[in-house]
Chain A
């Protein structure tokens, strides 16, 4: 690397295996999760993940609007992923776009795979994800925020859903791509894991890698998800901490 086109394409991986932001290939960006960040939602969470800032809120189970979406045997899970106009370098025009609609759909389906929706027939569980500041990996950050928000809202489900993107940049398989790696790397593969079953409920890929690289990437992603899972659990424990206050004798 570093000859033709070096002006545009940054060096994504040093010979020592260090990434553009100083991380190793299997290292996550710093993640901070606040459960219950909003006052008016049934459940909510704010996720700061690298340079991403994502808020999620859950309302429900509640009456379905519009009513024709009602399902007789289970709750319908409606998800809206949205990016604030100022969340990206180039201002994004407010409103629906195809990318947001696709993400909303696959995220809703990921949650349908773990939420025990049959406990609430004819209702809606509404999941809202707002990306306030974006730096690659917003769908995973949004999914993590929404999952913590669902738990905060008391929704019954098989497990929390940690999510992370793995991919290939500078020839190496890496976890948790940042913006440069996402823009200039060879592959991007977001995934969400059900830790309890070890199965994936969200899986997408863009780019190219060999089957051996994919095998490595999947392993790395599962490992990353397990790390994120612990941060999600800790965020909920912090909010619902039951640590008793020792009585001080008078």
Chain B
């Protein structure tokens, strides 16, 4: 339930540890938890990936269906991202329509995928102005142990990276073909804990956090999306330092997503 309370003793302890460069689970401030990607988890999806970061688990599923392109982009397909923070995954989530938290996750993931031109949407055009592929990215949070955004984004990327366009099934082409991933954006999330800024926050660290920043980078050196969340503030210098860290982590996250795609 939303009125789950975290013990102040715990959040205070998290902050004290951070002041000494330490963390509750023994990690360094610039260290991710163990990451795993299981592509093809769902056979009914055109692409899917189950991503675990520590005890956080997010399942992404891709569905491609023919539809009508937007009037202002008649030569492009449509990409749409949706996240479900289902109450199965955490005592803090309630049943019902998507809450702002779920909408934020889906929009932040969507922005990185879109801005990095992860997939070339013009290749999803079938008949200009008439017919194009709609690519649905559905994010299903299964276990909420913190840092949902990075897990969801990596799941989305992993799912896209091995998705198939079901052209044969819909009578659009003779055979299905791989959805080509052009760029590999990776999202990297930090939280402020006092003066320390740590990467890949756990649930308890998010509860103690004084500001969160997500930075998406791609493999050709672009910053493609950012999102500051939670109550708290960062200086421009903080942001610059996090950008450097995000690029370093991005390399590793991309490799994990690509490895899963191979």
A residues lining the B interface (CB < 8 Å): 38-41, 51, 53, 55-57, 59, 62-63, 65, 80, 82, 84-91, 94-95, 126, 128-130, 132-135
Contact = CB atoms under 8 A, between A and B. Distances in A.
B144 A132 contact: no
B103 to A, nearest CB: 12
B97 A133 contact: no
Interface of B: 1, 41-46, 48, 55, 57, 59, 61-63, 65, 82, 84, 86-91, 94-95, 97, 136, 138, 140, 142-145
Contacts of B143: 38-40
B86 A85 contact: no
Contacts of B55: 39-40
B42 A87 contact: yes
A130 B142 CA distance: 9
Contacts of B57: 38
Contacts of A87: 42, 44-45, 61
Contacts of A94: 82, 84, 138
A59 B44 contact: no
B87 A132 contact: no
Contact of A65 (B48, B63, B94): B94
Looking at A57, A84, A95, which has the most chain B CB atoms within 10 Å of its CB? Answer: A84
A86 B91 contact: no
B42 A130 contact: no
Contacts of A84: 42, 59, 61, 84, 138, 140
Contacts of A135: 44
B86 A82 contact: yes
Contacts of B62: 86
Contacts of B43: 51, 133
A162 to B, nearest CB: 22
B63 to A, nearest CB: 4
A59 B48 CA distance: 27
A84 B144 CA distance: 17
Given A51-B43, A65-B1, A133-B44, A85 B90 contact: no
A51 B136 CA distance: 22
Contact of B90 (A40, A63, A91, A129): A40
Contacts of B86: 82, 128, 130
Contacts of A128: 86-88
B44 A134 contact: yes
Nearest to B48: A86
Contacts of B42: 53, 84, 86-87, 132-133
Contact of B142 (A38, A62, A82, A129): A38
A137 B103 CA distance: 31
Contact of A86 (B61, B90, B95, B97): B61
B63 A85 contact: yes
B168 to A, nearest CB: 13
B161 to A, nearest CB: 16
B87 A91 contact: no
Contacts of B48: 86
A147 B207 CA distance: 32
Contact of B88 (A57, A62, A88, A91): A57
A63 B91 CA distance: 11
Contacts of B88: 38, 41, 55-57, 128-130
A132 B1 contact: no
A38 B91 CA distance: 12
Contact of A55 (B46, B65, B87, B142): B142
A38 B44 CA distance: 22
A51 B89 CA distance: 23
A132 B139 CA distance: 11
A62 B2 CA distance: 13
B62 to A, nearest CB: 7
A72 B59 CA distance: 39
Given A59-B91, A128-B88, 5 more contacts: A38-B88, A65-B94, A86-B46, A130-B142, A134-B44
